[in-house]
Structures are given as C-alpha cells and as structure tokens.
Structure 1
Amino acid sequence: MSAIKRAVQRVHYYAHNVARDMAPQALFRRNLQRILEGIDSHGADRIAERLNYYNKMSRLYQTPADGATVAGIPRAKSRYYYDLKEHARYFPRHLRIEHLFGDIVHVPELPSIVKSRPISDTNENSVVMKLNKFRHYQLFDDGTDFDDKKPMAVWRGGGRNPKRVALVQRYHNHPLCDIGRTTRKVVDHTNKPFLSPAEQLKYRYVISIEGNDVATNLKWIMASKSLCLMPLSVYETWFMEGRLVAGLHFVQLRDDFADLEDKILHYEKHPAEAREIIRNANAYVAQFADAPREKLLSLLVLYKYFALTGQIDPDPRIAALWNG
C-alpha cells in the first residue's frame, strides 16, 4: 500500500468518525434493538460463542460511581475513542464504562474494555473490543501464489522484545532469511531497509512476533498466500489469537527460533502442507469480514457488559446468549 493511499484512508477514517460524532446520537440509540434482533440471521450459536469469548463476565459486578460514562469517554487516544464510541453511542449516555486504552498486557482489577489481554483462563475482567483497528486490521492484496514467491523467510521490525532480539541476532545474515531491524533507536549491523507489507509478501515465509502486545502483522500475513511462522502467542485481541492452532493456521516456532531453518526446509520439501495451512489461515481471517455480524458482536459485547454491571435489564432472549 502506497503512502498516499494510506494517507487517504487515514483522512477518511477521521472524517467518517467526526461526522458520526456530529450526528444526533439519539438516532443510534433508537436503532439498537433493531440491530440486536438480527442475532438469528447470523447464527445464534456462533454469535454466542464469540460473544462469550470476548466478554467472559459470568456474574454481576459493580462499576465505580465516578467512572467514565458513555458520554464522557476521553478523546486523548483518538483512535481508541472513535472505535469504542462507534458502538458505545448506541447505549444511554449516562451508563458507566470502565476502559483501558493502549497495549494492555495485564488483567484489570475491574471488568474493563480493552484492546488486548493475556491469553489465560483467568482473564475474565478483560473485555475485548475491536480497538485501534486502523492500525491493526489493514489487509493487503496478494496476487502471488506461494510457489511463485521467494523461497525465504522475511521479517522487519523494531522493539526490544526478547523474542525479536533473538530472531535478529541468530538470522540477520542467514542465506534462507531476509531478517533485520528497522528501529532508529539502535543502529548496528542487524539493521536493514524498511520493507512494506507488499514487499514482504513476495516471500514464501513471513515471520510474526509479538511486540508490546500482539503482532500487528499477523492478520495480513494470515490473509495472504504466504505461510505464517511464529512462536505461540501470549496476548490476544478481537482476532482471537488464543484460538489459533499450530499446524492448522500457522507454523509454530520455538521462542529462541532455533528451529526456523528446519521449518523452512521442511515446507520447501512439502509445499502442499504449506498451502493447506495457508488455506486454513485465509478461512480464519474471513470470519471477520462480515461487517454486519462484526457490528452486532461489538454491540452484544457492550450489552453484556452493561447488563452484568447492573446498569440495564437485559432482554431474556439476549441474556440467553450468555446464560444458555
């Protein structure tokens, strides 16, 4: 994607959201029930499964009396504000909504709306919404088949995540790899020129490594015709990284990447296996492409949050999705 196209998309994103903020908010609130009535048309069982994955609240909680309200969500992190307000505006302005914006790698003390959380059986207080989506949900056209790509692994990135450091130190000069750091804070022999996603997708194998929380490139790799190689995820977002299965959706690497060369050589000898994993990865990404269903799920995540913080009386038909 060119810098110009990206800039145009950024302008459109902000213009669309500013216009939505300026519209009479009562219009959105009047439409809530109509949208929620579409549950059956999207498959109630599948909706319930994803709803209860994002929002694992299972009992009645109480929100602080001085917490932020729907009308008072702070604008300091504008993309987080717009992405949360996009769906929160369908609910009464006075409802309180705890939230943590940014790269969240801990489980909050109170149920809170977050973009990211640790993958854990004890992350019930981390209620996931699709936040900062302009950065994290960009996909790119890939017109090159796996067999026609360069038979190498590629990675570019920065940061001091120990896994990223281990990869660069071990493979920055390996003949089967094009791996390098692009950070400006540290310049040494491991630095290499920036490669756009389109340039990286010329390679058969694209490596994904978490940074502050999740890996930004994971979605576009899995949507492409390249094979995703990565260590097991530690954090998850709306993309449900915790549900990805090694060998089915991606190729698992050791945290120290000692097995990277062996994995490349294996799939060079068995390209049919690589293509099957790529097909499964593409199918996984496709479930997020249904805009009406994604909107319904986002509203339901908030609906359940407000119901289980005692702020609204849920419709029994909707409550059945989490009481079922």
Structure 2
Amino acid sequence: MEVKRLSYKHKNNKILYYAVSYLRQLISSKYYQAKLLTKLKSINSLNDDEIQKVMSRVNYYNKLKKKVELTSGALKSSDLTIKKGFKTYFFDLYEYNRFFNQNLKGHYLFGDITHIPKEPGLVKSRPISDDNAYSVVLKWNKLRHFVHVKNDKKSFSQKKNMLVGRGKVHSTQLNRIQFLEKYYGHPMCDIGKVNDNLLNPKWKVNRMTIDEHLEYKFILCLEGNDVATNLKWVMSCNSLAIMTKPKFETWFMEGLLIPDYHYVLIKDDYSDLESKLAYYINNPDKADNIIKNSNDFVAQFQNKHLEDLISLMVLDKYYKKTN
C-alpha cells in the first residue's frame, strides 16, 4: 500500500464516523421517534428565503406528487441489516430513519444505482431525467462522496497549466478508457489509472493526495459507475472541474450544475479539451468566476442543521407518499 493512501487531510474521519454510527444502534429508535415532530417543525425557525431553499431541495430529491402503494416486495425498516460492502449506506440511512416507526416499509436500493426503479425507492444515485420521480435520493455513502477541501492555499493563477486526473478505470467504463486513449502522455495532461487490471499497463500511475491535485489548474471529473466521486471536493477548491455533461446525480444535485458556470464542459468525444484548457489559462478572470460559482454551490451542503432537516423531510415525504 502506498503511504500517501493513509493521508486523510481534507477527508472525513473514518474512526469517528464508525464510532458514532455504532453508538446510535445502542439507543432505542423510540427515543428518537419522540423527537421527530420537533425536528420537522424546526423549519419554522428559518426565514422565508431559507424555507424556500429547503423546500426546493426536498422536492428535488423527492419528486413524488401522488400516493403510490408499495407491493409486497417492500421491506420493513426493522428488517434491514448491515451487509458487506454497504455498511455506510446502512449507517447513513439509519442516521435519519431512526426517527421513524421501524414498521414503515420501503425499497432501499443501496449501491451505485443507474436505473429508475419500478416502484418508489430510496437511492444514492439516479439518472438525470424528467421522469425519475421513483428514484428518491438520500445522502448516502457520504463518508466517501462528501469530501470538501478545507483550505486551498493557491489561487488559480498560481497553479500549473495542466489537467490532472487520477482514478480507478475498469473495462466497463468506456468513457474513462477513451479519455486515456486520447490524452495519456499529452503535454497538458498528467493522467492515469491507479488500479491493476488487464487494461494498458502504461496507464498505471502513482496515486495522488488531494493536496497534490491542488497544484494543478484543472482536475478531471469523469463519471465512473455513476457520478464522479471527486466532483464535490474539486468544486470546493480553487481549481476548475473538467467534465462532460453529467448523466447521473446524487444528493449533490449534479443535474442542476450549469456548464461553464459551475464547471468547464467538454464534449463527449473530448475533442475540445485543448481549446478549453487554453481558453481558461489565457482568461484567468473567467476561471475565477467559475470557481466562485462552484464554491457557492458547494456551500449549501455545509450547514449540518439544514442537511439534517432536509434529510428528515425527504424521508417523511417518502413514507407519506407510499402510505
């Protein structure tokens, strides 16, 4: 294992996360259920603008308008167990689901979900679509996904005039393979894969810490199994996210991101990459505008009280709309 993989600077504290998550299991859910109404009513302490923003996000994550009866395949909350590979999903659900009657039923779809279920289900990710109401999004796997840069010491102008990209590349991820085929070894790109497989061995490179990424003006954010995991922390720093138009979204609401306003859009065939990089190198003021917009977008997810309230309201609406 590379020593730098042990670096948790800018990352979430795993030990604290698991300690708190296991401790929650020791307290009866009835204790939390008695507090639900008070927590939901806390929205009344917000000003009108804050209430509007909260409701907008609740209705974005949970687009259900009519009641939909779930079939016999739905599980009781009390029947859910911690499964290998989905531990953080279980803990992230329980953080808020403990406030609800554990006999309530739902479809809990853990993992990288890229389809819209046949019945309303709770998911981490969903396709960006006008017809995805049956995919109700919660803030799951946040230990890995919701990472933010605490302090980027360099401005955009002080960084290297290059694109950096590190990540796992699997044989099923054709978009990532095509990017490496086109730009690996390019003088403006420091890119490669960090995992071992049968793909081109020349693409294998050493991992980079987040701090090492921050030395570059441009950071590659290509979707993998669903969303680009690094997009959240990239949009919180002073570098530009380089990406194609997203096809999937999570709690981060990738579907609301505006091209060349929150991130730098490149074509699906990547043919305009060089011209896009050159443009922002030569127009740092335009780059700084995008960085400000992206930082502002990230800021809405950093208020713990509102994140808790929105999560509870999304779940409350889900259980009410599915009876």
TM-score of the superposed pair, with normalisation by structure 1: 0.92
- The match for 2:112 is 103
Offset at residue 208 of structure 1 (A): 0.3
Correspondence for 1:151 among 152, 161, 164: 161
Shift of 1:44: 2.1
Offset, 1:75: 1.1
Name the structure 2 match of 1:241. Answer: 254
> Partner residue of 2:99?
90
Q: Match for residue 10 of structure 1? A: 14
Q: Is residue 111–residue 125 contact of structure 1 (8 Å, CA) maintained in 2?
A: yes
Deviation sequence 1:33-62 (CA, Å, 0-9, x none): 111111133422111111110001111111
Does the alignment pair 1:180 with 2:192? yes
Matches of 1:255 and 1:28 in 2, distance apart?
Answer: 47
Match for 1:267 among 280, 289, 309?
Answer: 280
State whether residues 125 and 248 of structure 2, in contact with CA within 8 Å, keep that contact through their aligned partners in structure 1.
Answer: yes
Correspondence for 1:75: 82
| 1:302 Cα deviation from its structure 2 partner | 0.6
* Aligned-partner SS, 1:154: strand
The answer to whether the Cα contact below 8 Å between 1:73 and 1:85 also exists between their aligned partners in 2 is no
The CA distance in 1 between the partners of 2:13 and 2:78, in whole Å, is: 27
1:112 aligns with 2:115: no
CA distance in 2, matches of 1:33, 1:176: 55
Is residue 2:147 matched to residue 1:138? yes
2:71 is equivalent to residue 64 of structure 1: yes
Residue of 263, 286, 298 corresponding to 2:311: 298
* C-alpha contact (below 8 Å) 1:169/1:190 kept by paired residues: no
- Change in Cα spacing, 1:72 to 1:297, as seen in structure 2 (3 Å) is same
Runs of 5+ unmatched residues, structure 1: 311-324
Aligned residues: 310
CA distance in 2, matches of 1:265, 1:4: 32
Deviates more, 1:8-17 or 1:166-175: 8-17
What is the alpha-carbon distance in structure 1 between the residues aligned to residue 81 and residue 122 of structure 2? 13
Q: Whole-Å Cα distance in 2 between the matches of residues 204 and 111 of structure 1?
A: 41
2:61·2:251 contact (CA, 8 Å) conserved in 1?
yes
CA distance in 2, matches of 1:288, 1:9: 18
Q: RMSD value over aligned CA atoms?
A: 1.6
**Aligned residue identity for 2:65:** S
Query: Counterpart of 2:175?
Result: 163
Give SS of 1:204's match.
Answer: strand
Residue pair 2:12, 2:147 contacting (<8 A) in 1 also = no
Are 1:30 and 2:37 matched, yes or no? no
Contact between 2:235 and 2:298, CA under 8 Å: does it hold in 1?
A: yes
Partners of 1:8 and 1:123 lie apart in 2 by 30
Q: Which residue of 2 aligns with 1:313?
A: none
Partner Cα separation in structure 2 for residue 170 and residue 199 of structure 1:
23
Identify if the C-alpha distance between structure 1 residues 4 and 280 changes in structure 2 by more than 3 Å, giving closer, same or farther. closer
Give 2:130's aligned amino acid: D
Q: Shift in Å at residue 5 of structure 1?
A: 3.9
Report the Cα distance in structure 2 between the residues aligned to 1:150 and 1:242, rounded to whole angstroms.
30
Query: Is 2:223 aligned against 1:215?
Result: no
Matching residue of 1:316: none
Describe the superposition over 1:87-106 as per-residue Cα deviations: whole angstroms up to 9, x where unpaired.
01100111112111000000
Counterpart CA distance in 2 for 1:212 and 1:286 is 26
> What is the percent sequence identity of the aligned residues?
37
- Runs of 4+ in structure 1 deviating by more than 6 angstroms, as ranges, are none
Q: Distance in 1 between matches of 2:13 and 2:284?
A: 36
Contact 2:7 2:209 in 1 (8 A): no
Alignment partner of 1:168: what SS? helix
Task: Please give the alpha-carbon distance, in whole angstroms, between the structure 1 residues aligned to 2:21 and 2:30.
Answer: 16
TM-score using structure 2 length? 0.92
Kept in 1, the 8 Å contact 2:63–2:133? The answer is yes
The letter of the residue matching 1:182 is V
Please show how residues 305-320 of structure 1 align to structure 2 within 5 Å.
305-310=318-323
Query: Per-residue deviation at 1:297?
Result: 0.4
| Distance in 2 (alpha carbons) for counterparts of 1:224 and 1:87 | 29
